[in-house]
Chains A and B, each alone.
Chain A
Amino acid sequence: MSSGEFIVRHEQALRLFPTKWGRVRIAVAVALVLAFPIFANSYQLGLANLIFINIVAVLGLNVITGFTGQISIGHGAFLGVGAYASAYLVSVVGVPFLLAVPAAGLVAAVVGSFFGIPSVRLKGLYLAIATLAAQFILEFVFKGWTSVTGGTSGMSAGAPHIFGYEIHGDLPFYWILLAAAALALLFVRNLTRTATGRALMAVRDHDLAAEIMGISLFRTKVLAFAIGSFLAGVAGALWGHYVGYVTPEQFGLGLSISLLVMVIVGGLGSVLGSVLGAIFVTLIPEALTTGATMLVPDASRLTDMLAFLREGLFGALIIVTLIVEPAGLAARWERIKMYWSLYPFAR
């Protein structure tokens, strides 16, 4: 595999993909993603779009929980803040779509940092409860602030326009969501190789030592919540415009939990893990449905059973994944790479 490559300058060690094979792998992945719309149908494009949205949201949660070690069960609500903010900006205020999405991210960042302040005093389960409170408070606001959010019936996200063209349908959104996911990936990956990201990870690994090293716990934790909820807000805003309508039910506790599942199954504190987790949790239920309908000839008899089976099997698969690979799918990928780099001497 990657041998005979020597790092002789610091700039080389700091590259995103220091080895030649790493660059080849990423080039193949990029080519596949770019060529995907050519042979994908609209259903598959829709799934890909959902994965891109989830990648952005999961990266945000990974910054908070994976990198900084602060558990957040309110992440779904932060997505909601972004979705409502962007929907309001586009459909009521008339802000251009491309400005409204980052603005919605900033609104979510402000709200997220506010709810992140307890993390300075609370740790572990206690912080989990505090962020759970954030989830309920925000859901209550979504339902109660009728003049802005439209209450329980929700609101229209407005038609997004870019340079006068209306964005509609799966294919245009594929490119927009792909760009958003790529930017988010690059941003978070860059954080991990610079001082900001190291400060976050130092707080996770040993907060007292981090403080002695000159890292302010308050600033760092609130910053983590700000970055994480900014990404959540962007993901929520994009999701709202993609489906066209925003309701409180979309951003309930279930979404927060399933984002947490994506982070943990993918791998805490791993950028690649966020991608793998988002793909796994989005695709597996679909794969189970397709698999069941293929195995059973008369699918109509299954329809009432299918929903139940799907949820049950999906839950079982998550448990199995966590038992087999507690450190997440990203750790398994590292192991596979290690195996091949030592081949045939690895066991």
Chain B
Amino acid sequence: MTAPLLEVDSLALSFGGIDALTDVSLSVPQGALVSIIGPNGAGKTSLLNCISGRYRSKRGRIRFAGHDLTRLSPSARAAHGISRTFQNLALFSHLSVIDNILIGRHRRFSPNVLLDGLFWGPSRRREVEAREEVEAIIDLLELQPLRHQIAGTLAYGQQKKIELARALAMQPQLLLLDEPMAGMTLTEKEDMAKYIVYLNRTAGITIVMIEHDMRVIMDLSEDITVLSFGKVIARGTPDEVMADPQVQRSYLGDPQMFDSIAEGRAQ
């Protein structure tokens, strides 16, 4: 068996006295589609923030494609090919859609101020190349009519799609999706699921996804990790996770809980 692409090893993170993550480990093989689920406040987004570098973990290691990322800044991690979308929209809201996607490609630009200021030679050539690449992403995600619109003025579902486009422009090895379908209509969800499956199965991008829609999770993912109160409480295939009594308890509560209440009433 080859080494996993991403390996998170006993990660711990705390804010003041609150332990957001305790001893969380996660291993993502090359080409996999792994989901993280859990109740609100379980630490799912915190885990993603630790991987993308937004938060510094207190303990633990993050290894990616043979490199130790634990101490690197977010922009240095991007250079290794980790890209992500955000739970709450984080588009560059005053820029056009095409500029937003072009910024996603920034790590492969290595811009030079003087050349850019003169718009000369390599600078001009790179811009044209970048446009061609971005057009391919626009075609893939069907964003053609939105190309020149200002990102902040668009509808929520469209903005979510542009976030995905921006993350793709980086040509990532690993894509972190934080609730890609939250707040979308059914058709938008279906489209998004289609894109995610395409990116994973056909384009071969390894994906780690957080999502609350259980049908999407169960249908798409190969492997699920369940977090609750900052701890991993279960992991396995969708069927295994669904049958796990601890998972059922954390999502639905303890079945006996109602019995004891009913007994209390009866007395």
* Chain A positions near chain B (C-beta within 8 angstroms): 10-11, 13-14, 187-188, 190-191, 193-199, 201-202, 204-206, 208-217, 223, 227, 269
* Chain B positions near chain A (C-beta within 8 angstroms): 52-54, 73-75, 78-79, 83-84, 86, 90-95, 99, 102-104, 106-107, 109, 111-113, 116-119, 123-124, 126-128, 130-132, 166, 170
Tell me the dominant secondary structure on chain B's binding face. helix
From A10, A197, A205, B116 is in contact (CB under 8 Å) with A197
Note all chain A residues with C-beta closer than 8 A to B99.
198, 201
Question: Is there an interface contact between A214 and B90, defined as CB atoms closer than 8 Å?
Answer: no
- What CA separation (Å) do A227 and B104 show in the bound complex? 23
Other contacts beyond A213-B75, A215-B106: 19, CB < 8 A: A10-B132, A14-B124, A14-B128, A188-B117, A190-B117, A190-B119, A191-B117, A196-B111, A198-B95, A198-B103, A202-B95, A205-B94, A206-B91, A212-B78, A213-B107, A214-B106, A214-B170, A215-B75, A223-B113
- What CA separation (Å) do A172 and B170 show in the bound complex? 50
**Min distance, Cβ A203 to any Cβ of chain B, angstroms:** 9
A195-B126 contact in complex given A206-B92, A210-B103, A213-B106, C-beta closer than 8 Å: yes
- What CA separation (Å) do A243 and B104 show in the bound complex? 47
Note all chain A residues with C-beta closer than 8 A to B73.
211, 216
- What CA separation (Å) do A197 and B131 show in the bound complex? 16
**Min distance, Cβ A66 to any Cβ of chain B, angstroms:** 11
From B54, B113, B119, A193 is in contact (CB under 8 Å) with B119
Note all chain A residues with C-beta closer than 8 A to B102.
195, 198
A212-B106 contact in complex given A197-B116, A227-B113, C-beta closer than 8 Å: no
**Min distance, Cβ B49 to any Cβ of chain A, angstroms:** 10
Question: Is there an interface contact between A206 and B93, defined as CB atoms closer than 8 Å?
Answer: yes
Q: What residue of chain B has the Cβ atom nearest to residue A203's Cβ?
A: B92
Tell me the dominant secondary structure on chain A's binding face. helix
Question: Is there an interface contact between B79 and A214, defined as CB atoms closer than 8 Å?
Answer: yes
Question: Is there an interface contact between B84 and A212, defined as CB atoms closer than 8 Å?
Answer: yes
- What CA separation (Å) do A197 and B88 show in the bound complex? 25
Note all chain A residues with C-beta closer than 8 A to B124.
14
Question: Is there an interface contact between B75 and A199, defined as CB atoms closer than 8 Å?
Answer: no
Question: Is there an interface contact between B74 and A212, defined as CB atoms closer than 8 Å?
Answer: yes
Question: Is there an interface contact between A206 and B90, defined as CB atoms closer than 8 Å?
Answer: yes
Question: Is there an interface contact between A196 and B92, defined as CB atoms closer than 8 Å?
Answer: no
- What CA separation (Å) do A191 and B111 show in the bound complex? 10
Note all chain B residues with C-beta closer than 8 A to A206.
90-93
From A187, A199, A227, B118 is in contact (CB under 8 Å) with A187
Note all chain A residues with C-beta closer than 8 A to B126.
195
Note all chain B residues with C-beta closer than 8 A to A199.
103, 106, 111
A10-B106 contact in complex given A190-B119, A209-B91, A216-B73, C-beta closer than 8 Å: no
Question: Is there an interface contact between B113 and A196, defined as CB atoms closer than 8 Å?
Answer: yes
Q: Which of A190, A196, A213 has the most chain B CB atoms inside 10 A of its CB?
A: A213
- What CA separation (Å) do A201 and B151 show in the bound complex? 13
Question: Is there an interface contact between B111 and A195, defined as CB atoms closer than 8 Å?
Answer: yes
Note all chain B residues with C-beta closer than 8 A to A209.
86, 90-92
Question: Is there an interface contact between A211 and B75, defined as CB atoms closer than 8 Å?
Answer: yes
Can you show 24 pairs from A to B with CB atoms below 8 A apart? A10-B127, A10-B128, A13-B131, A14-B127, A187-B117, A187-B118, A190-B117, A194-B127, A195-B109, A196-B112, A196-B116, A201-B92, A204-B94, A205-B91, A209-B86, A209-B90, A209-B92, A211-B54, A211-B75, A212-B52, A212-B83, A215-B103, A223-B113, A227-B113
Question: Is there an interface contact between B75 and A214, defined as CB atoms closer than 8 Å?
Answer: yes
Which 3 A-B residue pairs are closest in the complex by CB-CB distance? A214-B107, A214-B78, A195-B111
- What CA separation (Å) do A208 and B102 show in the bound complex? 17
**Min distance, Cβ B112 to any Cβ of chain A, angstroms:** 8
Question: Is there an interface contact between B131 and A14, defined as CB atoms closer than 8 Å?
Answer: yes
Q: What residue of chain A has the Cβ atom nearest to residue B148's Cβ?
A: A13
- What CA separation (Å) do A210 and B104 show in the bound complex? 8
- What CA separation (Å) do A10 and B147 show in the bound complex? 13
**Min distance, Cβ A211 to any Cβ of chain B, angstroms:** 4
Question: Is there an interface contact between A213 and B104, defined as CB atoms closer than 8 Å?
Answer: yes
